[in-house]
Chain A
Amino acid sequence: MPRVFITGLGFVTSIGNDAATVAANLRALRHGFELYPPFQKPEIACKVVGTIKGFSTDSVDPEDWTFPAAYEIKRETIRSMAPHGLFAHCAFLQAVADARLGEADISNRNTGLYAASGGSPMLTYFHHDRLLKLGPARCSPLGIVASIVGTLNFNLVAAFRIQGASCGFSSACASSAHAAAYAFDEISLGRQARMFVVGGEDGNRDAILPFAGMRTLSLQTDPDLASRPFDVARDGFVGTGGGVVVVLESEAEVARRGVAPYCELVAWGQASDGYNVAISHPDGAGSQLAMEKALASARMAPGDVDYVNAHATSTLIGDVSEARALKSVFGEKGDRPAISSTKALTGHGLSLAGAMEVGFCALAMREGFIPGSAHISNLDPACEGLNIVRTTRAGAPRVVLKNSSGFGGANVALILRGT
């Protein structure tokens, strides 16, 4: 089976719009939260969002958007995008440059793209409202491809002339972890030589506020305290958006092109809670099984894992559920592995989260650190016994496990290894 390596990364996130900034902020535990202007209203209880800086995508008309001057995007390309399509498009350009890929490396029969996003609630609403009020004749012909789930892969595949496998993944907050996992399979089964893994979310009012209806958002008004996974006082997650692209390549392609990969994507596993549509299993049964399957697939023992980048979003039930799953896999005592949730810094990127955090892990492995789990003042007693690191540690983790969980109790665990 061909081995699979991460060779390129691109980021548009709440903690930075390039790999260097993201790495620096992860290391220094600087978060990307702000009081989000559209939420500063009496009827909206949640106030804080992991905002994207340097982009303005509030308008429903993409031609109104502004973005860093380094990116040139033609009208015919941007007109069918959702805000997260723009974020991911920019991240894609970064990843391509980072992996030193030429046009011919991107557009060929052995290069594919798997993406995940929740679609664009803002544009869905806008176009549908217009449809019902003004009739179809006054509607943009591109309203559908700009807004439905799948908009991310439609747009990127067309813009970059992808000819290999392409697909969108929809398992809510596990979506882009699934995208990375199945992209790994495409290469390890020999079907593709290279895969782009893309996660994106608008991260705006319309994408985040529905979670207030579920009462899962933090109501903290202090950006420094809003997201604190594993802390006893956590009160929900902080929403965020952005776009992240991870380039996966086969061993043969890495050798042929002579590039130095960030790390190897070794194996993955998945399992479902079979429990509740939105509440995670109290003992993290699905998450535990996903980790065990990933380790078995990697032919590794739990003791081989140096670092776990947790799914932990800072919700009351979810964090404990994952902590129990981690204890079941790694044992109650001991200093291995180090565990942290980088959502304390970025917020929860929903469909973006898995790919974003795989990117963070790859950065940490190359740059030689383990990001701490920020904003913990009082560790939740339910998490005691786990080595949740509160400060950044020097030294590259050799084996990293990345957890992701989504609605319906979908759980994915990915295993990375240093090169």
Chain B
Amino acid sequence: MPESAQSNVSSNKPFPLTPKPFAPDDEAALREALKRCSPSTFEAAVQFRKTGNADHMPAVVIGVIERFVEPDLRAKLKDADDDLRLIEDLGIDSLTMMEIVILVEDVLQLTINNDELRNLRTVGDVKTFIDCKIRGLPLPRPTKFLPIEHIGAVMPVQPPFLFLNEASVSSTGANGKYKITGQEFFLQGHFKDNPVMPASIMLEALGQLAVLFLLEGSPAEPGKAIGANTIYFTGCEGVRAHRMCKPGDILTLSIKPKRMKMPLATFEGAIRVGQEKAVIAEDITLTFAYVESAVAPAMINGAAQPAPDSENGANPPLRVAINA
């Protein structure tokens, strides 16, 4: 590997594959370090330190974050999805973020650099980041928040058939929100004197979020970009509606890529209203094609990301995340 210690990829030290023996002294130190965390956090940390199994990591990270969140905000974390924002939703400032990092470093025996922290905006970002650190994988690109203006500018779908008010896109998936206003034209007839959001439209909204992911979140090959007008719906499976959605409801949508191989991309999707499950789709498959891009593909947050190095076999972050 060339001497490029500045880049995220090369500064990312894998966790030793054979964990150090976990001595009673270590357990006592761990118990002290996590004394203000829940017992389950401590248990997960012990398991992680004993086995090196990264499956225990999310419980540790969430437990550490919870310990630094004001008690009245902790409820949010209990039922949190990965899109919960650290600053806006949990009141965590950059100093608290550092406190979290120091404790996570201590407990998981990692080293995290300052410049790696800047882009961690959501609970999901933190989990993904730590997971990549532990597995020695390249770090993902940060979550990008898209206001409605941006969504409207890049999407082939437009009002009155656009069902996203805001969205965030990361390399591992996308989240969005849509508020049912009651003014939607189809609610006049669906149903008579009883406006209910059609399940087919909710599926459409998930599909739109997947389109947004393809356009804004997925890594293109050098010199190529996914063409906005090449993306179409091909099929879906395992769709279940759990809850009627009516005017005033705010739909929280999320999709995650499951498989992606030109020309098909398959996603799983879910819609919630508050904490209630509304719609689940096990598979939503879209077809897409690349077009020649005049400029380099737009990078999330404009962060200069080194192009995947085919010689040393490094995978782009998305593929790694999917394979993980």
Contact = CB atoms under 8 A, between A and B. Distances in A.
Contacts of A79: 99
B5 interface: no
B26 interface: no
Interface in A34-84: 63, 74-76, 79
Contacts of A75: 68, 70
Interface in B32-81: 36, 68, 70
Given A63-B36, A76-B93, A76-B96, A138 B102 contact: yes
Interface in A123-149: 137-142
A140 B70 contact: no
A137 B105 contact: yes
A140 B93 CA distance: 14
A11 to B, nearest CB: 29
A141 B98 contact: yes
B111 interface: yes
Contacts of A76: 70, 91, 93, 96
A410 B90 CA distance: 48
Contacts of A139: 102
B95 A142 contact: yes
B106 interface: yes
B70 A141 contact: no
Given A63-B36, A75-B70, A76-B70, A137 B93 contact: no
Most interface-central of A63, A137, A138, A140 (chain B CB within 10 A): A137
Contacts of B96: 76
B65 to A, nearest CB: 13
Contact of A141 (B91, B95, B111): B95
B99 A140 contact: yes
Contacts of B105: 137-138
Nearest to B114: A137
Contacts of A63: 36
Contacts of B91: 76
Contacts of A142: 95, 99
A65 to B, nearest CB: 13
A63 B105 CA distance: 20
A365 to B, nearest CB: 42
A74 B68 CA distance: 11
Give the interface size bracket for A toward B. Answer: 10 to 19
A76 B73 CA distance: 13
Nearest to A63: B36
Nearest to B102: A138
Contacts of B106: 138
B26 to A, nearest CB: 16
A140 B36 contact: no
Contacts of B36: 63
A360 B35 CA distance: 42
Given A141-B95, A142-B95, A74 B70 contact: yes
B293 to A, nearest CB: 40
A134 B106 CA distance: 11
A139 B98 CA distance: 10
A139 B102 CA distance: 8
A63 B93 CA distance: 18
A260 to B, nearest CB: 38
Nearest to A139: B102
Interface in B85-125: 91, 93, 95-96, 98-99, 102, 105-106, 111
Interface in B11-43: 36
A140 B105 CA distance: 13
A256 B70 CA distance: 38
A241 B99 CA distance: 29
Contacts of A141: 95, 98-99, 102
Contacts of B99: 79, 140-142
Nearest to A138: B102
Contact of A137 (B68, B70, B95, B111): B111
A64 to B, nearest CB: 10
Contacts of A74: 70
A128 B297 CA distance: 47
B20 to A, nearest CB: 18
Nearest to B92: A76
Interface in B223-273: none
Nearest to B106: A138
Interface string A136-164: 01111110000000000000000000000
A141 B114 CA distance: 12
A76 B90 CA distance: 12
Contacts of B68: 75
A74 B95 CA distance: 15
Nearest to A79: B99
Nearest to B91: A76
A226 to B, nearest CB: 38
A405 B267 CA distance: 75
Nearest to B96: A76
A138 B95 CA distance: 14
Contacts of B70: 74-76
A127 to B, nearest CB: 13
A74 B98 CA distance: 18
B95 to A, nearest CB: 5
A141 B102 CA distance: 9
A160 to B, nearest CB: 18
A139 B106 CA distance: 11
A138 B33 CA distance: 12
Contacts of A138: 102, 105-106
19 contacts: A63-B36, A74-B70, A75-B68, A75-B70, A76-B91, A76-B93, A76-B96, A79-B99, A137-B105, A137-B111, A138-B102, A138-B105, A138-B106, A139-B102, A140-B99, A141-B95, A141-B98, A142-B95, A142-B99
9 tightest Cβ-Cβ pairs between the two chains A and B: A141-B98, A141-B95, A74-B70, A142-B95, A138-B102, A63-B36, A75-B70, A76-B96, A141-B99
Given A137-B111, A141-B99, 10 more contacts: A74-B70, A75-B68, A76-B91, A79-B99, A137-B102, A138-B105, A140-B99, A141-B102, A142-B95, A142-B99
